[in-house]
Amino acid sequence: MIFYEIPYEQGNIQTWHLDGLAEGRKDFDSRVAALAFAMQSANAAVKKCGDQACIAIQGADGNWRTFGPDMLPFK
């Protein structure tokens, strides 16, 4: 299973981090850009390898919520 983690808070003033990638942490200009990349990458991994992919997004309340590549709740 492949996991992508998108925190609520920025890593620093200018970037958002996306953790869980095989190549390590990747930085983005916005949380939306990080989420778009995670969705695209997760969909590609599912199609290419047949693996399951989970996108974990931290909410403003600090709780993590999990979604599939289609952004439906992960089951």
Query: Is 72 part of any domain?
Result: no
Which residues form the domain of 6?
2-67
Give the integer Cα–Cα distance in Å for 55 and 65. 8
What predicted TM-score, i.e. pTM, was given to this entire model?
0.79
Question: Domain count of the chain?
Answer: 1
Q: How many CB atoms lie within 10 A of CB 68?
A: 17
pLDDT at 65: 94
Assigned domain for 62 exists: yes
Strand partners, 18: 26
Instruction: Name the nearest CA neighbour of 64 among 74, 51, 50, 52.
Output: 74
Mean pLDDT over the full length of the chain: 83
Q: Assess if residue 47 is contained within a domain.
A: yes
